């Protein structure tokens, strides 16, 4: 395919301009149209990109024969209907996280994309972060031993959403990273939260995930913190990795730290824990912008006819966990069983579980 992929971006609010900027810098594609119901946002985009056409009607996007692919960066309630309409019109589709509001909606989008031979990709941006992928390499090397526990915190003041709670807004990033690192799905989820500002919309949540092989994860999300936090800790049987996305350069630190109990003891008095504190290693991390890499991958998938690393199955699995978390919230934090229906790697193969096994 020698011609450029012609892209329309739907939604020009907080994230839309970033998408247009990165698409404009991506080889092999051209942004031909932006769409937003708010005229002031269209004027803002026109000021940034004078040659770029704009429309307030979504129908102008899907009916345009000069549009090959559609980026949906709207409130979540529009993800499914707009994604479905674009696929039915024969357009490749990229939808910002989460893919849709229910697993049923996600599965319908996947089936439609498969039937029409179109690319369906979800915005799990941090799967394209050099720091996240360096962390995955460290885990897969066996350097930290068996993964025992992962904790993630994504906190800031706002931005409040009207149609979803904070778990649906912020946790998809952490969930997609955890699934990417472990290459397997949780067997259950529990979630607790509180609504402090808007009635019925949780602005603080804590999610607990249980995996096979005695591995667990905790995901904390908040719109009510004064300081922006983007941190994840992976605790292994030998070492521990801390990923801090707010660090400009030293995003990954590997700690030679662990706790060991004696292999055999008969009484509580004989139970003496051994604490090991060693060196801290800071690996070199490339400074590639994840969103730019993500847009490049989307265009590559269209041009080469390949499955994205964060396609329908990956997006569906995150929504499955979020649905379970919502159910748990309504049940006071009770554990909810999860049964994944499709492989996570998008190619029909069973996802590996080696990252949870001691090496």
pLDDT of residue 213: 87
- Max Cα-Cα span within the chain: 78
Q: Are residues 335 and 216 in the same domain?
A: yes
Q: Can you give the three-state secondary structure of 45-68, one letter per residue?
A: HHHHCCCCEEECCHHHHHCCCCCC
Q: Are residues 211 and 257 in the same domain?
A: yes
Q: Are residues 178 and 299 in the same domain?
A: no
pLDDT of residue 350: 38
pLDDT of residue 346: 42
Q: CA 301 to CA 282: how far, in whole Å?
A: 33
Q: How far apart are the first and last CA of the chain?
A: 44
**pTM for this model (two decimals):** 0.92
Residues of the chain with pLDDT under 50: 343, 345-359
Q: Are residues 175 and 82 in the same domain?
A: no
Q: Are residues 71 and 200 in the same domain?
A: no
CATH number, position 211:
3.30.360.10
Q: Are residues 280 and 299 in the same domain?
A: no
For residue 72, which of 132, 110, 19 has the smallest C-alpha distance?
Answer: 19
CATH number, position 78:
3.40.50.720
pLDDT of residue 236: 97
pLDDT of residue 175: 99
Q: Is 24 exposed, middle or buried (0-12, 13-18, 19+ CB in 10 A)?
A: middle
CB 234 within 8 A of CB 150: yes
pLDDT of residue 354: 36
Q: Are residues 221 and 210 in the same domain?
A: yes
Domain of 195?
130-288+318-356
pLDDT of residue 263: 74
pLDDT of residue 276: 82
pLDDT of residue 268: 65
Q: Are residues 121 and 246 in the same domain?
A: no
Indicate the number of domains in the chain: 2
Q: Are residues 166 and 296 in the same domain?
A: no
pLDDT of residue 266: 64
Structure tokens at 226: 């004064």
């Amino acid at each position: 395919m020698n011609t450029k992929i012609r892209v329309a971006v739907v939604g020009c609010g907080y994230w839309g301009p970033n998408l247009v900027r990165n698409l404009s810098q991506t080889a092999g594609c051209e942004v031909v149209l932006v769409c937003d119901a708010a005229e002031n946002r269209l004027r803002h985009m026109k000021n940034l990109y004078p040659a770029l056409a704009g429309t307030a009607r979504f129908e102008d996007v899907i009916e345009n024969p000069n549009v090959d692919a559609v980026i949906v960066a709207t409130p979540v309630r529009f993800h499914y209907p707009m994604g479905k309409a674009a696929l039915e019109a024969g357009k490749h589709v990229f939808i910002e996280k989460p893919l849709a509001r229910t697993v049923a909606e996600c599965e319908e989008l996947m089936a439609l994309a498969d039937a029409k031979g179109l690319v369906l990709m979800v915005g799990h941006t941090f799967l394209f972060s050099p720091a996240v992928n360096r962390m995955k390499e460290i885990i897969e090397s066996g350097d930290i031993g068996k993964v025992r526990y992962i904790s993630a915190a994504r906190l800031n003041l706002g931005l409040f959403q009207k149609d979803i709670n904070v778990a649906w807004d912020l946790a998809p990033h952490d969930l997609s990273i955890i699934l990417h690192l472990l290459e397997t799905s949780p067997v259950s989820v529990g979630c607790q939260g509180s609504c402090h500002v808007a009635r019925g919309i949780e602005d603080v949540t804590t999610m607990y995930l249980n995996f096979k092989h005695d591995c667990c994860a905790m995901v904390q999300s908040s719109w009510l913190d004064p300081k922006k936090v983007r941190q994840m800790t992976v605790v292994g049987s030998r070492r521990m990795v801390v990923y801090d996305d707010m660090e400009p350069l030293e995003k990954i630190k590997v700690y030679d730290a662990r706790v060991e109990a004696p292999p055999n003891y008969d009484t509580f008095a004989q139970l003496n824990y051994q604490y090991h504190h060693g060196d801290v290693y800071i690996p070199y991390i490339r400074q590639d912008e994840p969103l730019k890499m993500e847009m490049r991958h989307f265009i590559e998938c269209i041009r080469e006819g390949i499955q994205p690393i964060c396609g329908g199955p990956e997006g569906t699995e995150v929504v499955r966990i979020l649905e379970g978390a919502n159910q748990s919230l309504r049940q006071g934090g009770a554990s909810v069983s999860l049964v994944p229906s499709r492989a996570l790697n998008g190619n029909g193969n069973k996802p590996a579980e080696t990252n949870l096994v001691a090496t």
